[in-house]
Amino acid sequence: GGLEQTLDEGKQKGITMDDDHSVLVRDTKTGQLRLVTEKQMFIPGPHEKVEEVRELVRLAEHEAMIIKDKDSNFDFKYGSGEKGTSESRSFFLPPYAEVVSLRWSRGPRREVRDLLIDRIDCRAQFMAFEFNSRTKDNVDLVIEGVLFWEIADLPLMVRTTGDMTGDICQHTRSQFIRHVARVDLKEFMEDINSISSKVHSED
């Protein structure tokens, strides 16, 4: 009509929402975000803008995920076990929240720290390691091995280290260097199992 005008948002499409999809909506007057999860054909109202369609996050039984809210508090989601609930096994990412990515080291010497982890595997795992060490009689050795490890307390791990795989390997390396430096090559070859046991028990 003569006194009517269209909104700045223009024509917007309706979005079909189901069990696997939600809509993040911004109020253009206040700037606030809200997450709409009800199953419906969502039609944006006046002064509303759809920022994105979010898919339901599903965690496998062995997976965990860390969510950081707008106040930088961590919420730990688990796929199963005593800590996992139906709300944590599958969820929509709330407004103003983000998935925390862990940056771990990779490679046998853990020289490159570029492995980004979003979904944390809580199963027992193994990783190979390699480093140089020197015996008491000045023989340079390249020690290779395999570490078996498992995350027992995820919140404690996040508070304690920013590079779990790198820290595990560095602790192992320092302990091996200390014990190998106390024996000569002959003793090392004869007693490698005892040295490995000491490294494991003392660290």
User: Phi first, then psi: what are they for 155, rounded to 5°?
Assistant: -60, -40
Residue 102 has pLDDT above 60, yes or no: yes
| pLDDT at 9 > cutoff 80 | no
DSSP per-residue string spanning 31-65? --EEEE-SSEEE---TTEEEEEEEEPEE--TTEEE
Q: Which residues contact 156 (CB under 8 A, 6 or more apart)?
A: none
Q: What is the pTM of this model?
A: 0.81
> Does residue 93 have a pLDDT over 90?
yes
pLDDT-derived band at 5 (thresholds 50, 70, 90) equals confident
Residue, of 109 and 81, whose pLDDT is higher = 109
To which residue do tokens 């106040």 refer? 71
pLDDT class for 7, splitting at 50, 70, 90? low
Return the pLDDT at 76.
Answer: 94
Indicate if the pLDDT at residue 82 is higher than 70: no
Which residues partner with 141 through β-bridges? 133
Specify the pairing of strand 125-134 against strand 140-149. Answer: antiparallel
